[in-house]
Structure 1
Amino acid sequence: MKNMSLNEVREAYLKFFESKGHLRLPSFSLVPKNDKSLLLINAGMAPLKPYFTGVQTPPRNRVTTCQKCIRTGDIENVGKTSRHGTFFEMMGNFSFGDYFKGEVIPWAWEFVTSVLQIPKEKLYVTIYLDDDEAYEIWTKSTDIDSTRIFRLGKEDNFWEIGQGPCGPCSEIHFDRGEGKVTTVEEFLKESDNDRIVEFWNLVFTQFDKDEFGKYNKLANPNIDTGMGLERMATIMQGKNSIFEVDTIRAILDTVGEYANVSYGKNELIDISLRVITDHIRSVTFMISDGILPSNEGRGYVLRRLLRRAARHGRILGIKNNFLYKICNVVIKNSCDAYPELKEKEGYIKKVIKLEEERFAETIDGGIEILNEYINKLEKEDKKILPGEKAFKLYDTYGFPIELTQEILEEKSMDVDIEGFNNEMENQRQRARAARGESNYMGAEDTILNKLPNEILTEFVGYDSIECNTKITLVANNKEILESLNEGEEGVIIFEKTPFYAEMGGQIGDTGVIISEQVKATVVDCKKNIAGKILHFVKVTEGKLLKGEFVTLRVDETRRNNISKNHTATHILHAALRGVLGQHIQQAGSFVDAEKLRFDFNHFQGLTEEELYKVEKIVNTEIMKVYNTKTELMSIEEAKNGGATALFDDKYEKEVRVVSVGEFSKELCGGTHVKNSGEIGLFKIVSESGVAAGVRRIEAVTGFGAIAYMETKENILKNISDVLKCGEKDIINKVNSQIVEMKIKEKEINELKSKLANGCEDDLLNNAKEINGVKLVTGVLNDIDGNSLRELADKIRNKISEGLVVLGSNNEGKVQFVAMASKDAVLKGVHCGKIIKEVATIAGGGGGGRPDMAQAGGKLPEKLEEAISKVESIMVTLVK
């Protein structure tokens, strides 16, 4: 058996299946495309589901990949065992209606025994209980000992996920021990003991399970195999743990160096080392695919992994941020297979470091809240923190349950872990309910996603906005039709079209369909999952018939405005990289006829100066009246030529590269102006944050920019009219009025203070005595908070032993203040409790210390009633 590194195993696998006529595809992004059933890609076949279902045509009927995957279903076990991990790579070879069992079984045996040179006496094979065909191929087309083949039931050797493609499977296993296993019972026992390890699953997708649970035979059965790269590497390197494999052990040892600890000497230390090692692999790959920390979806998964790793760093005694440095090892060991890691190295580090810093703040805030819980438990002489409070710390503040338990343990306390787990399960159920039931692709399975593959449309819209063409398909959401009548709405596909279908952030075209017999409006244009161009139409006159010839005409003005905005986003992208740095990457965009929106990765808001520079650069480049050039080239030529793109997307062999002079060069399938000068004017309308590390610029161009500037100009004119000055003097006039207002405010406050002081004697004359404690209450009008506090303080000083509670209605806002002397507090007075009850009556809330408290309210009409309650409240406190 060869001793192979993890990277060597991957390459050997992919090269072997290339030799068998397979197309090697790079790993797809961890972010699923057009698949609502998944949050993250969790298997090698997941990104290929459209090929298996037939909604998309594969680039070749034989494909091989090594797919990066994330699974977090058992995250709590990661670190506690030597085999659990959230990130892994899945190698696979796939047949889309091409070869089947007769080919894949001998190939699998050849790769394992000839390429990897694993001894045959170390291998076992399992097949589905009733799969005689697989048994015959194994025994006749390979030289495996038939006594090493075991038949297992549906739970072990039949692959299915709800409705859709499914079928029996055959697994190949490696025996770590000595001696031969001879019975199914013994095989299952040794598998449970981890002596026998499954490493390759060959799925024979030959059925389609319908909504009634019936297994219908597929006309063209498929092959879907999966081999875990890390698990295979452990076998090839003679290791017992994925964490001991060369590339992963390099990460683990680096973590150990930072923590000044060694692996294998202390189980608790080993757990933390394994958690950090696994999680930093996951977060590095997730960020490289554009995922950012957030409080929902896949962003929440990323945040949870990052914070769990940071928490275990603290357990190991690492006080400073360190994860952003550890990711260097991940990138170094994996960048040959995943070049995007190296390309985005600086960006990945920035995201990790920022999240580490935020977590440090979270830890401090969480400890403060936990201390409040602990103080309450101590006062109530309790030892168990309720599960819902622990869950709130975890869910709202990102505070790990392990840390909560550790801090409580120091106080001889514990967590109601059952209650915590119940809250966790309730959250999972809410999430499942929100997702709802999903089918194989997790998307609505309408007829529009099941159109025949042979129906194709030629797009001619780059060069023309009008064409004559034939109607090839008429449909609605439920069925394929022969026609659409006057007043009806539906979907039309044509042999060719000038209508741009929504894609790459550019909105779809609108326009008309005309002939001598019919008039219809195209209200939108989109693509289905398979990329077919769908025209959403409404018939206004006559009838649209399948097979008829019609004229299509795009709304020219709208298209031109969209093109101006789209070309402007390219110039904006280049300008941002020039002003902010080359780490700027597009995180999304939207372009319609009125405006453009551009999202990009950056970690802080742009200053006014930066926005000014960006806007000036864009307008300067527009005024250089560059010709816009479009070229078709290979993806490699585009990259080498300096074109920017979302390179985690999958592109055709030939791509469109759009250049605006020498300033901007991007891969793009959208429509553009022929010359930058057509854009006219560019104006930034807003800059804001839309997610952690993602900023958004909204802007307008052309006549939209002119209209925006005209609106601004009208506002200035109106302001100058109101201020009765010229536009140039507006600032001076406003500043002088601000000074005048401050002087008048000061005079008003002084008058209010005098007014409040004038009430002092009246309030003191109406003082009462409750159980030996003086009580002064009063309701005032138009007294602000500061004056109210000053008055209460003066009265408290004059009554050596007593309580003052005052309320004020100031411009419709209710304010309360309560102050008590030290002697009154010793007799039971508590201003915080009193003010809380009083404010509740007036529709507010508040609190404070025993000697001083303040609150607000929303119901001025309840002010008198609220203050009148002070006496009865005080009776209950002062004994």
Structure 2
Amino acid sequence: MSLLEEKHEWGATRVRDTFLGYFKERGHTFVPSSSVVPLSDPTLLFTNAGMNQYKSIFQGTVDPASDFAQLKRAVNSQKCIRAGGKHNDLDDVGKDSYHHTFFEMLGNWSFGDYFKEETIGFTWELLTKVYGVDPQRLYVTYFEGSEGLDPDLEAKELWKTIGVPEDHILPGNMKDNFWEMGDQGPCGPCSEVHYDLREPEDGKYRNAASLVNEDDPEVIEIWNNVFIQYNREPDRSLRGLPNKHVDTGMGFERLVCLLQKKKSNYDTDVFTPLFKRIQEITKAREYQGKFGTDDADGIDTAYRVVADHVRTLSFAIADGGVPNNVGRGYVVRRVLRRGARYARKYFGTEIGDFFSQIVPNLVEQMGHMFPEIKKKEADIKEILDEEEKSFAKSLDRGEVMFEKYANKAKVKGSNDLPGDDVWRLYDTYGFPVDLTRLMAEERGMIINDKEVDEAQEKAREASKGDKKAAAALVKLDVHDLGALENMTDVPKTDDSAKYGRENITSVIKAIYHGKKFLQSTKEVPEGEQFGVLLDKTNFYAEQGGQEYDTGRLLVDGEAEISIENVQVYAGYVLHTGYLKYGELSVGSEVITEYDELRRHPIRNNHTGTHVLNYALREVLGNEVDQKGSLVAPEKLRFDFSHKSGIPDAQLGEIEKISTAYIRQNSEVYAKDVPLATAREIRGVRAVFGETYPDPVRVVSVGVSVEDLLADVKNPKWEKVSVEFCGGTHVKQTGEIKELVILEESGIAKGIRRIVAVTGQAAYEVQREASAFEAQIERLENLKFGAEKEAEAKKMGSALNQLSISALTKSQFRDRFNKIQKAILDEQKVFAKADNKRVLDAVTDFFAKDEDAKTLVLKVDWSSNVGKAISEAIKSVSGPKSALKEKSVYLFSANPEEGKIVHGCYVSEHFKAQGADGPKWAKTVTDIVGGKAGGKPGAPTASGQGTDAERVDEGVEEARKWIENFKI
């Protein structure tokens, strides 16, 4: 039976469910896997271990109001990615039997509850009694001692007590058996379990002790039990923790592998259902599980790479790790491009929608455990297709250029691929360096990383110069246009291809720089911006509120112009930018390649603008007229006539109508129509005063332009978005995903402005709002006190800076205002009680000792104590006070913050002897630091000190000073 058809007693789902069930039965709370994209932890590219979400518990910083604060035992299967940063297995995937960029980590945790004995007992019982693993194939390790730490003989003895033979219990060093979270923080010895995959010889197992922790593919670590009992201090010393914790992690794929009696994780039903789907798509030969030289055609390696990568991509995108050029987004893009290249090279399949065809099978396989991939399935597929299509546009050409660069090096007798060429493959064709390295290895070549870094730095410096020069955009003026009209060999640009989505080939008709038309880029001074006119273009020139495209003009491997801006002048489309390398001349044939990843969100935003315009009229009425717009990659802006601000209820209705229209997934139609006829279409929207071409382009969402023209007066067209527009649009409104209004404001009398986002940007603001809502909920649940006041102050500032839905922001403001009011009310109640507390301390003293003339007293600290002391002094010194003849000095100190507050009142009896408030306060200030205030000769004074450690000395000095006067 083939690998793909095998059935297993221990199927992957049963293995996972058994683990979770075992620990649930033993009092562990199931905690769903945290996001694989740790948006709240900037120190991590991806979640790479099961313990990441419990960091706050280990570090003692857990929010006391959260569920985690009460957590004693936990179990889960954590999604992990190791494809970038410190933990990066990307280069090894496909080459061996056990490396993955995405994997699951099964784990059980104890937070100050059970410790070594129970952990080791659970481990052995689950493996040998529940899963039925042969104990003879298991080896365990313990910490041998180092850095002044004793060996973990307790763990060793516990393993022996359970029945593990002594020659299967092995010591391990600091590297293998002492786990640390980082340079600082909780840490402790660990005890690993290893499994011998080898079959017995003549019915006997060979001792595998010498192969443990030696990276032998047949003797693998499957489970690690970490006993967190120390804290690594900043000075690298270790201190014992007050609470001892357990953190365990078992590789799910490895466990399935051994239970299914395989030697490769990839031979299990974690991967074989994906292999089956890949075979259906590609018609390739069946997966045979071969490695290295045995895998002569590379097909098995490609199966492993593609299956692994589709898992990583799907889970990363589902959790918000969208492909881009920065950080974790770049890692996702690298993984996709690496996988796409494997698919094309080894399976011979076209890319553009390859990965998305596998995603439904992955969702069926894992969606019950991780419902987020089921919920986000459509988005995952759409993003994968978008990225694949973008890469497909340059993959063929990039591979040709790689061969050219490789052959050039070989001719020179070198196996080194030059750094400049490696960088150009990335910069021009989107080949990540690790993909080029892989291709080089296939050719028996190597890459000099230092040279690549130097080429990248050189490009970065050149880019800085470009941006500086870009401040003065090269433009055509009336004289230049006059000259062009007389140049018969320079026609007006045919830009009809701007509505397509493919690269085209064009001919350079003119090169413009320094008020002159040149014949070659060689005449342009190095690093300076210039313009290019083509016979035809697929670039969109800035017009109608839509921003320009960027991209490149190039002859593969010979020359490239980076296009930074595109403007149209009387029918001439001028592409402005910088020469990156080589030389181009008038008459050169170039590939015209706009940046699809920039235009894609522009398309979303432009069609979103049409939908928004429709919704505005539906809610506010037909008197709404467009007054201007901006369509950029990151947002859309729409200005319109309306007399007053839009209330939240109406804003919500506008969003609701827009969203409903988008989710209909209506087709977007466009057609050039005679202007007079187009104006007759019922409900058509046009900008008042705008001059339109004849014929004019009509864009309709949901109804074909032919149907509109067949019955131009039909009242049904009032319920359709129909506009005159020359911009680029989506094919179906579903591509827009969401429309979220960020801002509604007035910009002039009778003119309002809406700023909104669509697509992934809309998802981002929704995620940001969701994260902020969790903070608000936490603040609402916090008990009144200094922490709540401090958090509210920070949150008020953060709320003002938040870029989220205007409606949601308004709701947050209402909730936040209620929190602030509650804090103010609580502060008033607290202040009143605190004032009474301090004053009662004074009055109670004199009630017990009516003859006393003075009181020097330290009272307990509170956030309001300074005010309470002032109020008590004011009360004592008041004209109608029964204590007016008493002299009082009050203190309070907060050693943690180093603060002291103090205040005093000197009665007339002591004033007559030369005492006053400021003099008395000065004696204290000399000791506790800080300042004290009060008019010379005044009976009262108050101060703040900076040396809280000396408050008792201050109290004593104040007492001595007043006692020097006659009572």
TM-score when scaled to structure 1?
0.50
Q: Pick 1 or 2: higher relative contact order, CA cutoff 8 A, min separation 6.
A: 1
TM-score when scaled to structure 2?
0.45
